[in-house]
Every structure is written in C-alpha cells, then in structure tokens.
Amino acid sequence: MAGHSKWAQIKHKKAIKDARKGKLFSKIVREITVAVKVGGPDPEGNPRLRLALEKAKEVNLPKDNIERAIKKAIGGDEGNNYEEVIYEGYGPEGVAFVVKTLTDNKNRTVNEIRYIFSKYGGSLATSGSVLWQFSEKGTIYILKNKVREEEVFELALSLNIEDIKEDEDSYVVYTLPKDFHSVKEKLQESGIEIESATITLIPQNTIKVSSDKAQKVLKLYEALEEHDDVQEVYANFDIEKEVLEAFTSE
C-alpha cells in the first residue's frame, strides 16, 4: 500500500502541473461527457459526474469546456459511441496493471494497448486475471502540517471511514466508494484542508521493484497513460520515492 500511496501523490501533483498540455483536459471532458450519458446532468444524483467535475476544478479546466461537454452529452451530439473497457496485463518484474479506457473503437484500442505492453516488456492478460488483485476505494489525502493528528483520528470515529494510514507527509483516509463524497464533505465542514481526493483502485499487495529495474516499469506506465483512450492506469509496484520523483521530473 505504501508504494501505491507515494506514486498516487506524485502522479497527482504532476497531473496538475502538466494539465495545460491539453491531454488531461481532453480526458476529463470525455469523462464528463460519458458520465452525463450514463447518469444524467445533475452531479448530486450522479456520483461519477460529481467526481469528474471535481477533477476538472482541480486542474482549472475552463468552465466553457465543462458546459459544452454537458450540453453535447444531453443533446446526443457526442459520446454516443464511447464505452468503458478495462484492460489487464503484466509488466516487467511481474507488476500487475489495470488500464481503464473510454473508447469508440474497441478493436483499435485493444491492439494498441497490446502493442504498448509488448513494446515495454509486458503482456496483455485475460479479463479478470489481474483485476481481483485490486480493491476500489475512496482515498482522501490530508497534509500532516495542516491538521493535528488527534483531530483526524477523532473525526474518523464518527465517519464512515474504513482506515487511516500515515504516509511521509500525509494522512491517507480510505472509504468505501459509496461513502467517499459524504466523508469528504464532512471533513471539509470540520475545517480540514484536503490536498487531493479521488476514487481509485488500491492494490491488495505490492511488488517491490529495485531502482535499476524501475525505469522499465515506469516507462510502460507512462506509455499507457499517454494513450488518448486511456483514462486511468493502476499498478501494484512499490518503487522508492526518490526514483519516482526523478522519473516524473524528466
């Protein structure tokens, strides 16, 4: 779990920093469009849309882009053919990967994802052979220097929190997906400043990857994440924080 937590925070900060490159904007717009198609335009009754809008706010996605995506989804002009497809595979050192995509052409996407795995020393796996190694959880990060430890753990007793773990500079609050938004709101109402929050896949066990092998694993991760149809990439590697930071700063 620790390895996942380190990478999740570094990746989150990098995503915000790189948002203006446009690709992240496009992926969030696509997620908003599909979320509206699936669950309607009201974020209060559509948790998927609500989370997508929160991500949009985090990266300062222009309001016009958001409104345009919602209108197109309601009007049926865009997103009719997008469907969510999950691909599973293994990378170097036996690291497990789960790749969530939104695609309008499954044949094209699967061939391209298979090629990426092969190019970087991995292989695509059969459906269900990897996903069982992950659990869906709400994760909320709170910087340690923004809150007293006692305050966090006292609140945990009164909220639907599954677990709290300490990272190097954060408290990581874990919830069931259905409790994620209510827990987040109650923490904010209590005056606790949240650094980041999302619903993600958490590996049940991690694979320790040595520094000299880390580049191979991270290059596969990055190549998958860069694909236009890919929304999220999850993996169960545990790599030293210094190596992760050096890679993302390149």
Q: pLDDT by residue (tens digit) across 57-83?
A: 988 899 999 999 998 888 866 445 788
Confidence band of 214 (pLDDT split at 50, 70, 90): very high
Angstrom distance (rounded) from CA 44 to CA 30: 19
Give pLDDT tens digits for 128-169: 999 999 999 999 999 888 888 888 888 878 888 998 888 778
Answer yes or no: are the C-beta atoms of 89 and 125 closer than 8 Å: yes
Domains of the chain, first to last: 2-75 (1.10.10.200), 83-132+205-248 (3.30.70.980), 134-202 (3.30.70.980)
Say whether 202 sits in a helix, a strand or coil. Answer: strand
Q: Read off the tokens for 165.
A: 């773990």
What predicted TM-score, i.e. pTM, was given to this entire model?
0.88
